[in-house]
Amino acid sequence: MSARIASRTNLTAALAAFALVLAGCSGNSPSPEQRFADALAAGDVQAAADLTTDPAAASAAITAMFDGLNAQAHTFTVAESGESFTIDADWDFGDGEQWQYSTEGTVVDVGGEQRLSWDPALLAPGLEADSTIRYTVTTGTPPQVRASDGQPIMTQQVVTLVNLQPSADPAAVAPLLAPIEPTITADSLRANLASSEGGQAVTVITLRDSDIAPIRARLAAIPGVELVEQTRLLTVDKALSSPVLADLTTVWQQAQDASAGWAVQIVAPDGTATRVAGQDGPPASNIDTTLDLRMQTAAENALASISQPAAIVALQPSTGAILAVAQNSPADAQGAIALTGLYPPGSTFKTVTTSAALQSGDVTPDTVLRCPGTENIEGRQIPNDDNFDLGSVPLHSAFAHSCNTTMARLAVSLPADALQQAALQFGLGIDYVTPGLTTVTGSVPTADTPAERVESGIGQGQVTASPFGMALVAASIAHGSTPAPMMILGEPGTADRTVTPTPATVDADLRAMMRETVTDGTATTLADLPGLEGKTGTAEYGSGTGSHGWFVGIDNDLAFAVFVAGAGSSGPALDAAGRFLR
Protein backbone atom coordinates (compact mmCIF):
# COMPACT_ATOMS: atom_id res chain seq x y z
CA MET A 1 0.00 0.00 0.00
CA SER A 2 1.33 3.43 -0.87
CA ALA A 3 2.15 6.11 1.69
CA ARG A 4 -0.50 8.29 0.05
CA ILE A 5 -3.24 5.80 0.84
CA ALA A 6 -1.99 5.31 4.37
CA SER A 7 -2.00 9.04 5.08
CA ARG A 8 -5.50 9.46 3.70
CA THR A 9 -6.94 6.65 5.78
CA ASN A 10 -5.47 7.49 9.19
CA LEU A 11 -8.71 9.06 10.37
CA THR A 12 -10.73 6.20 8.98
CA ALA A 13 -8.45 3.73 10.73
CA ALA A 14 -8.82 5.53 14.04
CA LEU A 15 -12.59 5.55 13.74
CA ALA A 16 -12.61 1.88 12.82
CA ALA A 17 -10.42 1.06 15.83
CA PHE A 18 -12.68 3.10 18.07
CA ALA A 19 -15.68 1.18 16.76
CA LEU A 20 -13.93 -2.10 17.60
CA VAL A 21 -13.27 -0.91 21.16
CA LEU A 22 -16.90 0.00 21.60
CA ALA A 23 -17.95 -3.36 20.26
CA GLY A 24 -15.56 -5.10 22.66
CA CYS A 25 -16.92 -3.11 25.58
CA SER A 26 -20.44 -4.11 24.67
CA GLY A 27 -19.43 -7.72 24.57
CA ASN A 28 -20.41 -8.20 20.94
CA SER A 29 -17.61 -9.34 18.57
CA PRO A 30 -17.85 -7.67 15.14
CA SER A 31 -18.81 -9.98 12.35
CA PRO A 32 -16.07 -11.05 9.90
CA GLU A 33 -17.65 -9.00 7.15
CA GLN A 34 -17.68 -5.98 9.46
CA ARG A 35 -14.01 -6.47 10.32
CA PHE A 36 -13.25 -6.91 6.61
CA ALA A 37 -15.03 -3.66 5.75
CA ASP A 38 -13.33 -1.84 8.62
CA ALA A 39 -9.90 -3.10 7.54
CA LEU A 40 -10.51 -1.99 3.94
CA ALA A 41 -11.73 1.40 5.15
CA ALA A 42 -8.57 1.73 7.25
CA GLY A 43 -6.36 0.70 4.34
CA ASP A 44 -5.06 -2.31 6.29
CA VAL A 45 -4.46 -4.72 3.43
CA GLN A 46 -3.17 -7.67 5.43
CA ALA A 47 -5.87 -7.48 8.09
CA ALA A 48 -8.55 -7.59 5.40
CA ALA A 49 -6.83 -10.38 3.48
CA ASP A 50 -6.44 -12.54 6.58
CA LEU A 51 -10.21 -12.57 7.01
CA THR A 52 -10.65 -14.41 3.70
CA THR A 53 -10.25 -18.03 2.65
CA ASP A 54 -7.25 -17.11 0.45
CA PRO A 55 -5.15 -14.45 2.19
CA ALA A 56 -2.36 -14.47 -0.40
CA ALA A 57 -4.67 -13.92 -3.36
CA ALA A 58 -6.74 -11.41 -1.42
CA SER A 59 -3.66 -9.43 -0.34
CA ALA A 60 -2.43 -9.17 -3.91
CA ALA A 61 -5.84 -8.12 -5.23
CA ILE A 62 -6.47 -5.54 -2.50
CA THR A 63 -3.02 -4.01 -2.95
CA ALA A 64 -3.55 -3.81 -6.69
CA MET A 65 -6.95 -2.20 -6.17
CA PHE A 66 -5.61 0.52 -3.87
CA ASP A 67 -2.67 1.18 -6.18
CA GLY A 68 -4.80 1.19 -9.32
CA LEU A 69 -7.52 3.47 -7.98
CA ASN A 70 -5.26 5.76 -5.91
CA ALA A 71 -8.29 7.64 -4.58
CA GLN A 72 -8.24 10.64 -2.28
CA ALA A 73 -10.64 8.89 0.12
CA HIS A 74 -12.69 5.73 0.36
CA THR A 75 -15.23 4.08 2.65
CA PHE A 76 -16.56 0.50 3.01
CA THR A 77 -19.80 -0.06 4.92
CA VAL A 78 -21.66 -3.28 5.67
CA ALA A 79 -25.17 -2.79 4.38
CA GLU A 80 -26.50 -6.29 5.19
CA SER A 81 -24.92 -8.85 7.52
CA GLY A 82 -25.23 -12.59 7.76
CA GLU A 83 -23.93 -15.63 5.93
CA SER A 84 -24.70 -13.64 2.81
CA PHE A 85 -23.76 -10.01 3.18
CA THR A 86 -23.57 -6.80 1.22
CA ILE A 87 -20.86 -4.14 1.41
CA ASP A 88 -21.32 -0.60 0.06
CA ALA A 89 -18.16 1.08 -1.26
CA ASP A 90 -17.53 4.75 -1.98
CA TRP A 91 -14.39 6.00 -3.76
CA ASP A 92 -13.67 9.73 -3.97
CA PHE A 93 -11.15 10.77 -6.65
CA GLY A 94 -11.53 14.50 -6.07
CA ASP A 95 -13.07 17.24 -8.23
CA GLY A 96 -16.51 15.66 -7.85
CA GLU A 97 -15.39 12.34 -9.30
CA GLN A 98 -17.01 9.62 -7.18
CA TRP A 99 -17.68 5.92 -7.63
CA GLN A 100 -20.25 4.12 -5.47
CA TYR A 101 -21.24 0.48 -5.72
CA SER A 102 -22.22 -2.61 -3.71
CA THR A 103 -20.72 -6.08 -3.61
CA GLU A 104 -22.02 -9.35 -2.18
CA GLY A 105 -20.27 -12.21 -0.44
CA THR A 106 -20.70 -15.19 1.82
CA VAL A 107 -19.24 -16.25 5.17
CA VAL A 108 -17.97 -19.84 5.47
CA ASP A 109 -16.55 -21.94 8.29
CA VAL A 110 -12.86 -22.82 7.97
CA GLY A 111 -11.55 -25.00 10.80
CA GLY A 112 -14.04 -23.56 13.24
CA GLU A 113 -13.37 -19.97 12.23
CA GLN A 114 -15.56 -17.78 10.12
CA ARG A 115 -13.95 -16.54 6.94
CA LEU A 116 -15.14 -14.65 3.89
CA SER A 117 -15.21 -16.88 0.86
CA TRP A 118 -12.58 -15.20 -1.30
CA ASP A 119 -13.76 -13.80 -4.61
CA PRO A 120 -12.18 -10.74 -6.28
CA ALA A 121 -15.73 -9.49 -6.93
CA LEU A 122 -15.87 -8.83 -3.17
CA LEU A 123 -13.76 -5.74 -3.93
CA ALA A 124 -15.53 -4.47 -7.04
CA PRO A 125 -18.20 -5.79 -9.39
CA GLY A 126 -16.74 -7.60 -12.37
CA LEU A 127 -13.26 -8.01 -10.91
CA GLU A 128 -11.80 -11.44 -11.59
CA ALA A 129 -8.70 -13.32 -10.49
CA ASP A 130 -6.70 -12.44 -13.59
CA SER A 131 -7.94 -8.85 -14.01
CA THR A 132 -7.01 -5.54 -12.39
CA ILE A 133 -8.83 -2.30 -11.75
CA ARG A 134 -7.64 1.25 -12.33
CA TYR A 135 -8.66 4.88 -12.35
CA THR A 136 -7.60 6.82 -15.42
CA VAL A 137 -8.03 10.22 -16.97
CA THR A 138 -9.75 10.10 -20.35
CA THR A 139 -9.73 12.47 -23.28
CA GLY A 140 -12.19 12.93 -26.06
CA THR A 141 -11.56 13.49 -29.73
CA PRO A 142 -8.37 15.56 -29.94
CA PRO A 143 -8.83 19.07 -31.35
CA GLN A 144 -7.20 20.29 -34.53
CA VAL A 145 -5.07 23.38 -34.98
CA ARG A 146 -6.52 25.05 -38.06
CA ALA A 147 -5.54 27.82 -40.46
CA SER A 148 -7.71 30.87 -41.09
CA ASP A 149 -9.55 29.04 -43.87
CA GLY A 150 -10.34 26.04 -41.64
CA GLN A 151 -7.70 23.73 -43.09
CA PRO A 152 -5.96 21.64 -40.44
CA ILE A 153 -2.39 22.70 -39.71
CA MET A 154 -1.67 20.28 -36.86
CA THR A 155 -3.43 17.08 -35.82
CA GLN A 156 -2.73 14.27 -33.40
CA GLN A 157 -1.04 11.48 -35.33
CA VAL A 158 0.57 8.13 -34.63
CA VAL A 159 4.37 8.09 -34.76
CA THR A 160 6.74 5.17 -34.35
CA LEU A 161 9.86 5.25 -32.23
CA VAL A 162 12.67 3.15 -33.67
CA ASN A 163 14.51 1.76 -30.64
CA LEU A 164 17.74 -0.21 -30.87
CA GLN A 165 18.84 -2.74 -28.30
CA PRO A 166 22.63 -3.22 -27.88
CA SER A 167 22.29 -6.44 -29.87
CA ALA A 168 20.95 -4.65 -32.97
CA ASP A 169 23.17 -4.51 -36.05
CA PRO A 170 23.69 -0.84 -37.08
CA ALA A 171 24.88 -1.92 -40.51
CA ALA A 172 21.49 -3.53 -41.15
CA VAL A 173 19.45 -0.65 -39.75
CA ALA A 174 21.23 2.38 -41.26
CA PRO A 175 20.41 1.70 -44.95
CA LEU A 176 16.69 1.66 -44.13
CA LEU A 177 16.75 4.94 -42.20
CA ALA A 178 19.27 6.96 -44.22
CA PRO A 179 16.85 7.77 -47.09
CA ILE A 180 14.58 9.40 -44.51
CA GLU A 181 17.33 11.02 -42.42
CA PRO A 182 20.62 11.30 -44.35
CA THR A 183 22.65 11.99 -41.20
CA ILE A 184 22.02 8.43 -39.98
CA THR A 185 24.89 6.06 -40.72
CA ALA A 186 26.05 2.78 -39.27
CA ASP A 187 28.76 4.70 -37.40
CA SER A 188 26.28 7.22 -35.97
CA LEU A 189 24.07 4.38 -34.76
CA ARG A 190 27.07 2.68 -33.13
CA ALA A 191 27.87 5.96 -31.37
CA ASN A 192 24.27 6.18 -30.12
CA LEU A 193 24.44 2.65 -28.75
CA ALA A 194 27.82 3.31 -27.14
CA SER A 195 26.39 6.31 -25.28
CA SER A 196 23.58 4.23 -23.78
CA GLU A 197 23.87 3.64 -20.04
CA GLY A 198 23.33 0.19 -18.62
CA GLY A 199 22.69 -1.43 -21.96
CA GLN A 200 19.35 0.32 -22.38
CA ALA A 201 17.59 0.60 -25.72
CA VAL A 202 18.25 3.82 -27.65
CA THR A 203 15.65 5.74 -29.67
CA VAL A 204 17.42 6.65 -32.91
CA ILE A 205 14.55 8.26 -34.81
CA THR A 206 10.83 8.97 -34.59
CA LEU A 207 8.94 8.41 -37.82
CA ARG A 208 5.59 9.49 -39.18
CA ASP A 209 3.32 6.73 -40.42
CA SER A 210 3.99 7.63 -44.06
CA ASP A 211 7.74 7.31 -43.48
CA ILE A 212 7.79 4.00 -41.64
CA ALA A 213 5.10 2.22 -43.66
CA PRO A 214 7.43 1.15 -46.53
CA ILE A 215 10.15 -0.11 -44.17
CA ARG A 216 8.22 -1.29 -41.11
CA ALA A 217 8.34 -5.02 -41.91
CA ARG A 218 12.04 -4.96 -42.74
CA LEU A 219 12.91 -3.01 -39.59
CA ALA A 220 10.81 -5.30 -37.40
CA ALA A 221 12.60 -8.34 -38.82
CA ILE A 222 16.01 -7.10 -37.64
CA PRO A 223 16.92 -8.64 -34.23
CA GLY A 224 17.24 -6.02 -31.51
CA VAL A 225 14.98 -3.46 -33.22
CA GLU A 226 11.87 -2.37 -31.32
CA LEU A 227 9.08 -0.33 -32.93
CA VAL A 228 7.01 1.58 -30.37
CA GLU A 229 3.94 3.58 -31.38
CA GLN A 230 2.94 6.84 -29.71
CA THR A 231 0.59 9.71 -30.48
CA ARG A 232 1.91 13.21 -31.04
CA LEU A 233 0.67 16.53 -32.35
CA LEU A 234 2.24 17.01 -35.79
CA THR A 235 1.87 19.30 -38.76
CA VAL A 236 -0.33 17.88 -41.48
CA ASP A 237 2.22 19.07 -44.03
CA LYS A 238 5.58 17.61 -43.06
CA ALA A 239 7.36 20.51 -44.75
CA LEU A 240 5.50 23.20 -42.77
CA SER A 241 7.70 24.87 -40.19
CA SER A 242 7.18 27.96 -38.05
CA PRO A 243 8.30 29.16 -34.62
CA VAL A 244 4.63 29.73 -33.74
CA LEU A 245 3.99 25.98 -33.70
CA ALA A 246 5.53 25.55 -30.24
CA ASP A 247 3.07 28.00 -28.66
CA LEU A 248 0.18 26.52 -30.62
CA THR A 249 1.14 23.08 -29.30
CA THR A 250 0.82 24.47 -25.77
CA VAL A 251 -2.63 25.88 -26.58
CA TRP A 252 -3.63 22.52 -28.07
CA GLN A 253 -2.50 20.68 -24.94
CA GLN A 254 -4.49 23.06 -22.75
CA ALA A 255 -7.60 22.39 -24.85
CA GLN A 256 -6.98 18.66 -24.66
CA ASP A 257 -6.52 18.83 -20.88
CA ALA A 258 -9.74 20.84 -20.52
CA SER A 259 -11.62 18.04 -22.26
CA ALA A 260 -10.45 15.44 -19.75
CA GLY A 261 -12.95 13.03 -18.27
CA TRP A 262 -12.39 10.05 -16.01
CA ALA A 263 -13.03 6.36 -15.89
CA VAL A 264 -12.67 3.32 -13.67
CA GLN A 265 -11.67 0.38 -15.80
CA ILE A 266 -11.38 -3.38 -15.35
CA VAL A 267 -8.32 -4.47 -17.29
CA ALA A 268 -8.18 -8.01 -18.69
CA PRO A 269 -4.91 -9.97 -19.02
CA ASP A 270 -4.68 -9.05 -22.71
CA GLY A 271 -4.89 -5.34 -21.86
CA THR A 272 -8.50 -4.91 -22.90
CA ALA A 273 -10.13 -2.31 -20.65
CA THR A 274 -13.83 -2.24 -19.77
CA ARG A 275 -15.22 0.93 -18.26
CA VAL A 276 -17.33 0.36 -15.16
CA ALA A 277 -17.65 3.97 -14.00
CA GLY A 278 -16.74 7.48 -15.04
CA GLN A 279 -17.81 10.49 -17.04
CA ASP A 280 -16.72 11.92 -20.37
CA GLY A 281 -15.27 15.41 -20.39
CA PRO A 282 -16.57 18.26 -22.53
CA PRO A 283 -15.57 18.13 -26.21
CA ALA A 284 -12.40 20.05 -27.01
CA SER A 285 -12.81 22.99 -29.36
CA ASN A 286 -10.57 23.24 -32.40
CA ILE A 287 -7.89 25.92 -32.24
CA ASP A 288 -8.64 28.34 -35.07
CA THR A 289 -5.62 30.47 -35.90
CA THR A 290 -5.13 33.50 -38.10
CA LEU A 291 -2.38 31.85 -40.15
CA ASP A 292 -2.71 32.00 -43.92
CA LEU A 293 -1.28 28.73 -45.25
CA ARG A 294 -0.64 30.10 -48.72
CA MET A 295 1.24 33.07 -47.31
CA GLN A 296 3.10 30.92 -44.78
CA THR A 297 4.30 28.63 -47.54
CA ALA A 298 5.34 31.60 -49.66
CA ALA A 299 7.34 33.04 -46.76
CA GLU A 300 9.09 29.74 -46.09
CA ASN A 301 9.96 29.31 -49.77
CA ALA A 302 11.26 32.88 -49.96
CA LEU A 303 13.81 32.13 -47.24
CA ALA A 304 14.82 28.61 -48.18
CA SER A 305 17.76 29.57 -50.42
CA ILE A 306 19.35 32.00 -47.94
CA SER A 307 22.40 30.62 -46.15
CA GLN A 308 22.29 33.09 -43.24
CA PRO A 309 19.60 33.13 -40.54
CA ALA A 310 16.55 34.84 -42.02
CA ALA A 311 12.94 35.50 -41.03
CA ILE A 312 9.68 36.93 -42.35
CA VAL A 313 6.74 38.05 -40.21
CA ALA A 314 3.48 39.18 -41.85
CA LEU A 315 0.43 40.76 -40.20
CA GLN A 316 -2.95 42.07 -41.30
CA PRO A 317 -2.99 45.73 -40.20
CA SER A 318 -6.79 45.99 -40.04
CA THR A 319 -7.13 43.18 -37.48
CA GLY A 320 -3.66 42.44 -36.08
CA ALA A 321 -3.98 38.88 -37.38
CA ILE A 322 -0.67 37.05 -37.68
CA LEU A 323 -0.69 35.78 -41.26
CA ALA A 324 2.76 34.18 -41.51
CA VAL A 325 5.82 33.63 -39.35
CA ALA A 326 8.66 31.93 -41.17
CA GLN A 327 12.36 31.43 -40.69
CA ASN A 328 14.95 29.22 -42.38
CA SER A 329 17.00 26.36 -40.93
CA PRO A 330 19.98 28.52 -39.87
CA ALA A 331 17.54 30.72 -37.96
CA ASP A 332 15.84 27.71 -36.37
CA ALA A 333 19.22 26.73 -34.92
CA GLN A 334 19.22 30.05 -33.01
CA GLY A 335 15.65 29.83 -31.70
CA ALA A 336 12.49 31.77 -32.52
CA ILE A 337 14.36 34.81 -33.89
CA ALA A 338 11.35 35.90 -35.99
CA LEU A 339 9.38 36.59 -32.81
CA THR A 340 11.91 37.25 -30.07
CA GLY A 341 15.31 37.84 -31.69
CA LEU A 342 16.55 41.39 -31.04
CA TYR A 343 18.77 43.19 -33.56
CA PRO A 344 19.59 46.78 -34.49
CA PRO A 345 16.91 47.75 -37.03
CA GLY A 346 19.14 50.14 -38.95
CA SER A 347 17.46 52.36 -41.51
CA THR A 348 14.03 50.74 -41.12
CA PHE A 349 13.96 52.69 -37.85
CA LYS A 350 13.95 55.90 -39.91
CA THR A 351 10.18 55.41 -40.04
CA VAL A 352 10.23 56.19 -36.32
CA THR A 353 12.77 59.00 -36.56
CA THR A 354 10.83 60.67 -39.35
CA SER A 355 7.58 60.32 -37.42
CA ALA A 356 9.14 61.97 -34.36
CA ALA A 357 10.55 64.79 -36.49
CA LEU A 358 7.22 65.41 -38.23
CA GLN A 359 5.36 65.42 -34.91
CA SER A 360 7.82 67.97 -33.52
CA GLY A 361 6.53 70.48 -36.10
CA ASP A 362 10.03 71.46 -37.12
CA VAL A 363 9.85 69.80 -40.53
CA THR A 364 7.38 68.70 -43.19
CA PRO A 365 7.92 66.16 -45.97
CA ASP A 366 8.90 69.06 -48.25
CA THR A 367 11.40 70.70 -45.92
CA VAL A 368 14.73 70.90 -47.73
CA LEU A 369 17.57 69.34 -45.74
CA ARG A 370 21.21 68.60 -46.39
CA CYS A 371 22.27 65.05 -47.28
CA PRO A 372 26.08 65.05 -47.42
CA GLY A 373 27.92 61.82 -48.12
CA THR A 374 29.44 61.81 -44.64
CA GLU A 375 29.29 64.16 -41.69
CA ASN A 376 30.70 64.35 -38.19
CA ILE A 377 27.72 64.79 -35.93
CA GLU A 378 28.32 65.12 -32.21
CA GLY A 379 31.66 63.35 -32.54
CA ARG A 380 30.25 60.43 -34.52
CA GLN A 381 31.27 60.19 -38.17
CA ILE A 382 28.09 59.26 -40.00
CA PRO A 383 28.42 58.04 -43.60
CA ASN A 384 25.77 57.30 -46.16
CA ASP A 385 25.91 54.00 -47.99
CA ASP A 386 28.96 54.24 -50.26
CA ASN A 387 29.12 57.91 -49.16
CA PHE A 388 26.47 58.99 -51.67
CA ASP A 389 25.81 62.74 -51.58
CA LEU A 390 22.45 64.20 -52.56
CA GLY A 391 23.25 67.76 -51.62
CA SER A 392 20.10 69.50 -50.34
CA VAL A 393 16.84 67.63 -50.93
CA PRO A 394 13.31 67.50 -49.48
CA LEU A 395 12.84 65.29 -46.44
CA HIS A 396 10.76 62.81 -48.45
CA SER A 397 13.68 62.29 -50.87
CA ALA A 398 16.17 61.93 -48.03
CA PHE A 399 13.89 59.24 -46.56
CA ALA A 400 13.42 57.41 -49.85
CA HIS A 401 17.16 57.30 -50.48
CA SER A 402 17.93 56.51 -46.82
CA CYS A 403 20.21 59.44 -45.99
CA ASN A 404 21.93 58.61 -42.71
CA THR A 405 23.38 62.07 -42.39
CA THR A 406 19.97 63.74 -42.74
CA MET A 407 18.29 61.45 -40.19
CA ALA A 408 21.12 61.67 -37.66
CA ARG A 409 21.03 65.49 -37.85
CA LEU A 410 17.23 65.46 -37.39
CA ALA A 411 17.51 63.15 -34.35
CA VAL A 412 20.00 65.46 -32.59
CA SER A 413 17.44 68.26 -32.35
CA LEU A 414 14.74 66.05 -30.80
CA PRO A 415 13.99 65.73 -27.06
CA ALA A 416 15.63 62.82 -25.22
CA ASP A 417 12.46 60.71 -25.20
CA ALA A 418 11.09 61.67 -28.62
CA LEU A 419 12.32 58.55 -30.43
CA GLN A 420 11.18 56.31 -27.60
CA GLN A 421 7.68 57.80 -27.61
CA ALA A 422 7.41 57.69 -31.40
CA ALA A 423 8.48 54.03 -31.33
CA LEU A 424 5.83 53.20 -28.74
CA GLN A 425 3.19 54.73 -31.03
CA PHE A 426 4.15 51.98 -33.52
CA GLY A 427 4.15 49.20 -30.91
CA LEU A 428 7.94 49.05 -30.64
CA GLY A 429 8.91 48.63 -26.99
CA ILE A 430 5.43 47.48 -25.92
CA ASP A 431 5.03 44.03 -24.41
CA TYR A 432 2.05 41.96 -25.48
CA VAL A 433 0.42 38.95 -23.84
CA THR A 434 -1.07 37.16 -26.82
CA PRO A 435 -2.77 33.74 -26.65
CA GLY A 436 -0.76 31.28 -28.73
CA LEU A 437 2.10 33.69 -29.39
CA THR A 438 5.25 34.64 -27.48
CA THR A 439 6.82 37.85 -28.75
CA VAL A 440 9.27 40.60 -27.95
CA THR A 441 8.92 43.81 -29.96
CA GLY A 442 12.15 45.59 -29.12
CA SER A 443 13.69 48.30 -26.99
CA VAL A 444 14.17 52.03 -27.59
CA PRO A 445 15.73 53.65 -24.51
CA THR A 446 15.68 57.37 -23.96
CA ALA A 447 18.62 59.04 -25.68
CA ASP A 448 19.87 61.52 -23.11
CA THR A 449 22.85 62.87 -25.03
CA PRO A 450 23.04 64.25 -28.58
CA ALA A 451 25.55 61.50 -29.45
CA GLU A 452 23.05 58.84 -28.32
CA ARG A 453 20.33 60.45 -30.43
CA VAL A 454 22.63 60.35 -33.45
CA GLU A 455 23.00 56.58 -33.04
CA SER A 456 19.36 55.96 -32.23
CA GLY A 457 18.12 58.09 -35.12
CA ILE A 458 19.58 55.65 -37.65
CA GLY A 459 18.52 52.50 -35.77
CA GLN A 460 21.88 51.82 -34.14
CA GLY A 461 23.28 52.27 -30.63
CA GLN A 462 20.96 50.86 -28.00
CA VAL A 463 17.93 50.52 -30.28
CA THR A 464 16.87 46.91 -30.96
CA ALA A 465 13.89 45.32 -32.65
CA SER A 466 12.65 41.87 -33.55
CA PRO A 467 11.34 41.01 -37.01
CA PHE A 468 7.92 40.81 -35.34
CA GLY A 469 8.46 44.25 -33.83
CA MET A 470 9.31 45.82 -37.18
CA ALA A 471 6.34 44.10 -38.85
CA LEU A 472 4.21 45.67 -36.13
CA VAL A 473 5.74 49.08 -36.94
CA ALA A 474 4.68 48.67 -40.57
CA ALA A 475 1.21 47.49 -39.51
CA SER A 476 0.82 50.51 -37.22
CA ILE A 477 1.68 52.91 -40.04
CA ALA A 478 -0.76 51.13 -42.36
CA HIS A 479 -3.58 51.02 -39.80
CA GLY A 480 -3.14 54.45 -38.23
CA SER A 481 -2.64 52.88 -34.79
CA THR A 482 -1.04 49.74 -33.48
CA PRO A 483 -3.35 46.73 -33.93
CA ALA A 484 -3.37 44.18 -31.11
CA PRO A 485 -1.55 41.12 -32.44
CA MET A 486 -3.74 38.04 -32.73
CA MET A 487 -2.83 34.40 -33.34
CA ILE A 488 -6.02 32.68 -32.10
CA LEU A 489 -9.15 33.97 -33.81
CA GLY A 490 -11.11 36.22 -31.48
CA GLU A 491 -8.34 36.39 -28.87
CA PRO A 492 -6.26 39.52 -29.50
CA GLY A 493 -3.22 40.26 -27.39
CA THR A 494 -3.16 42.70 -24.49
CA ALA A 495 -0.59 45.50 -24.39
CA ASP A 496 1.21 46.48 -21.20
CA ARG A 497 0.34 50.14 -21.80
CA THR A 498 -1.91 52.42 -23.84
CA VAL A 499 -0.32 54.92 -26.22
CA THR A 500 -1.86 57.81 -28.12
CA PRO A 501 -1.70 56.99 -31.85
CA THR A 502 0.39 58.91 -34.33
CA PRO A 503 -1.55 61.76 -35.99
CA ALA A 504 -3.23 60.59 -39.18
CA THR A 505 -1.38 63.21 -41.25
CA VAL A 506 1.96 61.81 -40.08
CA ASP A 507 0.96 58.25 -41.04
CA ALA A 508 -0.16 59.48 -44.45
CA ASP A 509 3.15 61.32 -44.96
CA LEU A 510 5.13 58.24 -43.95
CA ARG A 511 3.20 56.01 -46.35
CA ALA A 512 3.86 58.44 -49.20
CA MET A 513 7.58 58.36 -48.37
CA MET A 514 7.56 54.56 -48.18
CA ARG A 515 5.90 54.44 -51.58
CA GLU A 516 8.60 56.75 -52.95
CA THR A 517 11.22 54.41 -51.50
CA VAL A 518 9.90 51.66 -53.78
CA THR A 519 9.32 53.79 -56.89
CA ASP A 520 12.39 56.05 -56.74
CA GLY A 521 14.53 55.09 -53.76
CA THR A 522 16.43 52.18 -52.24
CA ALA A 523 13.77 49.54 -53.02
CA THR A 524 13.27 50.03 -56.75
CA THR A 525 13.96 46.31 -57.34
CA LEU A 526 10.37 45.86 -56.11
CA ALA A 527 8.90 48.68 -58.24
CA ASP A 528 6.98 46.17 -60.37
CA LEU A 529 4.74 45.39 -57.40
CA PRO A 530 1.75 47.75 -57.66
CA GLY A 531 1.16 50.00 -54.64
CA LEU A 532 3.93 48.49 -52.51
CA GLU A 533 5.32 50.76 -49.80
CA GLY A 534 8.48 50.00 -47.87
CA LYS A 535 11.71 50.93 -46.16
CA THR A 536 15.08 49.25 -46.50
CA GLY A 537 17.59 48.89 -43.71
CA THR A 538 21.22 47.99 -43.20
CA ALA A 539 22.28 47.68 -39.57
CA GLU A 540 25.83 47.37 -38.31
CA TYR A 541 26.50 44.96 -35.46
CA GLY A 542 29.43 43.81 -33.37
CA SER A 543 32.58 45.82 -34.11
CA GLY A 544 30.89 47.40 -37.12
CA THR A 545 32.46 45.14 -39.71
CA GLY A 546 29.26 43.18 -40.36
CA SER A 547 25.70 44.26 -41.06
CA HIS A 548 22.20 42.83 -41.11
CA GLY A 549 19.72 43.39 -43.92
CA TRP A 550 16.12 44.52 -43.43
CA PHE A 551 13.03 45.41 -45.40
CA VAL A 552 9.66 46.43 -43.99
CA GLY A 553 6.68 46.75 -46.30
CA ILE A 554 3.00 47.53 -46.68
CA ASP A 555 0.93 45.96 -49.46
CA ASN A 556 -2.74 46.93 -49.06
CA ASP A 557 -3.91 45.10 -45.91
CA LEU A 558 -0.58 43.31 -45.47
CA ALA A 559 2.34 44.52 -43.38
CA PHE A 560 5.54 42.57 -43.09
CA ALA A 561 9.20 42.58 -42.15
CA VAL A 562 12.06 40.65 -43.72
CA PHE A 563 15.31 40.15 -41.81
CA VAL A 564 18.55 38.53 -42.98
CA ALA A 565 21.35 38.27 -40.41
CA GLY A 566 24.83 39.15 -41.60
CA ALA A 567 23.57 39.96 -45.10
CA GLY A 568 25.99 42.85 -45.63
CA SER A 569 23.24 45.00 -47.14
CA SER A 570 19.49 45.20 -47.55
CA GLY A 571 19.76 43.43 -50.91
CA PRO A 572 19.08 39.86 -49.70
CA ALA A 573 16.10 41.09 -47.68
CA LEU A 574 14.70 42.88 -50.74
CA ASP A 575 15.16 39.77 -52.85
CA ALA A 576 13.38 37.64 -50.24
CA ALA A 577 10.54 40.17 -50.09
CA GLY A 578 10.18 39.91 -53.85
CA ARG A 579 9.99 36.13 -53.73
CA PHE A 580 7.45 36.36 -50.93
CA LEU A 581 5.14 38.80 -52.73
CA ARG A 582 5.39 37.70 -56.34
User: Which class for 25: exposed (0-12), middle (13-18), buried (19 or more C-beta within 10 A)?
Assistant: exposed
**pLDDT of the residue at 12:** 41
pLDDT computed for residue 542 by the predictor: 87
> b/e per residue, 11-21, with b = 16+ CB within 10 A?
ebbeebeeeee
Instruction: Determine phi and psi for 349, rounding to 5 degrees.
Output: -75, -10
Are 442 and 465 contacting, i.e. CB atoms less than 8 angstroms apart? yes
Q: What confidence score (pLDDT) does residue 4 get?
A: 34
Amino acid 29: pLDDT: 86
User: DSSP label at 237?
Assistant: S
CA atoms of 375 and 30, how far apart (whole Å): 103
Is residue 328 a contact partner of residue 338, using CB atoms and an 8 Å limit? no
3-state helix, strand, coil in the chain (%, to 5): 35, 30, 35
pLDDT tens for the 582 residues of the chain, in order: 333 333 333 434 444 444 443 343 444 789 999 999 999 999 999 999 999 999 999 999 999 999 999 999 999 999 999 999 999 999 999 999 999 999 999 999 999 999 999 999 999 999 999 999 999 999 888 999 999 999 999 999 999 999 999 999 999 999 999 999 999 999 999 999 998 887 899 999 999 999 999 999 999 999 999 999 999 999 999 999 999 999 999 999 999 999 999 999 999 999 999 999 999 999 999 999 999 999 999 999 999 999 999 999 999 999 999 999 999 999 999 999 999 999 999 999 999 999 999 999 999 999 999 999 999 999 999 999 999 999 999 999 999 999 999 999 999 999 999 999 999 999 999 999 999 999 999 999 999 999 999 999 999 999 999 999 999 999 999 999 999 999 999 999 999 999 999 999 999 999 999 999 999 999 999 999 999 999 999 999 988 789 999 999 999 999 999 999 999 999 999 999 999 999
Beta-strand pair 287-288/310-316:
unpaired
Question: What separation in angstroms does the CA of 321 have from each of 132, 236, 492?
Answer: 51, 22, 8
Q: How much is the CA Rg of the chain, to the nearest whole Å? A: 35
What whole-number distance in Å separates Cα of residue 167 and Cα of residue 226? 11
C-alpha dihedral, 131 to 137 to 143 to 145, nearest 10°:
-120
Q: How far is CA 476 from CA 426, 471, 542, 573, in A?
A: 5, 9, 30, 21
Contacts 24+ apart (CB under 8 A), 196-202: 196/166, 199/166, 201/163, 201/164, 201/165, 201/226, 202/163, 202/164
Domains present along the chain, CATH in parentheses: 3-129 (3.10.450.100), 145-266 (no CATH), 293-346+416-581 (3.40.710.10)
554 neighbors 516 (Cβ within 8 angstroms): no
Q: Which of 126, 13, 134 is nearest to 64 (CA)?
A: 134
pTM: 0.84
**What pLDDT is stored for residue 573 in this prediction?**
98
- Convert 306-331 to b/e letters by CB count within 10 Å (16 or more is b): bebbbbbbbbbbebbbbbbbbbbebb
